[in-house]
Amino acid sequence: METTWYGWTDAAIVADIGQRLRLVRLNKSITQQMLAEQTGLNRTTIRDIERGKPVNIMSLLPVLRALDLLENLDAVLPHPLRQPALGSRQVARQRVRAPKKA
């Protein structure tokens, strides 16, 4: 099922991410307390993430790591200099400023 994120509010996206993380956790038969112990986070932080409350990205990363989802970040945010379409002729382009208008 394809999701059209652009029509969603930020709060709705965060809530959906939390629900998805909860489902992954449950499918792995991990309790919130077990996940908290694996990540070094408080159980209430895990609960808040799953409920879609705003959390710091530094809290989200250990959860992704513990649930074996961290490698999925490459699909979400690919490195701009490692695009396969460029192949071996990859060249890092420098930003060029527009000329100043007099």
| Domain total in the chain | 1
Q: Is 92 exposed, middle or buried (0-12, 13-18, 19+ CB in 10 A)?
A: exposed
CATH code at 43? 1.10.260.40
Domain housing 52: 8-73
Q: Is residue 45 part of a domain?
A: yes
pTM, to two decimals: 0.74
Query: Do the beta carbons of residue 66 and residue 39 sit within 8 Å?
Result: yes
Residue whose tokens read 């790591």? 65
For the chain, the maximum distance between any two Cα atoms, rounded to a whole number of angstroms, is: 65
Ramachandran region, residue 101 (left: φ > 0; alpha: ψ -120 to 50; beta: rest): beta
DSSP code, position 67:
T
Higher per-residue confidence, 100 vs 20: 20
Q: Is residue 60 part of a domain?
A: yes
Q: Is residue 80 part of a domain?
A: no
Confidence of residue 84 (pLDDT cuts 50, 70, 90): low
Could you report how far apart the first and last alpha carbons of the chain are, in Å? 52
Q: Is residue 102 part of a domain?
A: no
Can you give the pLDDT at residue 93?
63
Task: Please report, rounded to a whole number, the percentage of residues in the chain having pLDDT higher than 90.
Answer: 65
Can you give the pLDDT at residue 48?
97
Q: Is residue 101 part of a domain?
A: no
Q: Is residue 92 part of a domain?
A: no
Q: Is residue 32 part of a domain?
A: yes
User: Strands (DSSP E) along the chain, which ranges?
Assistant: none
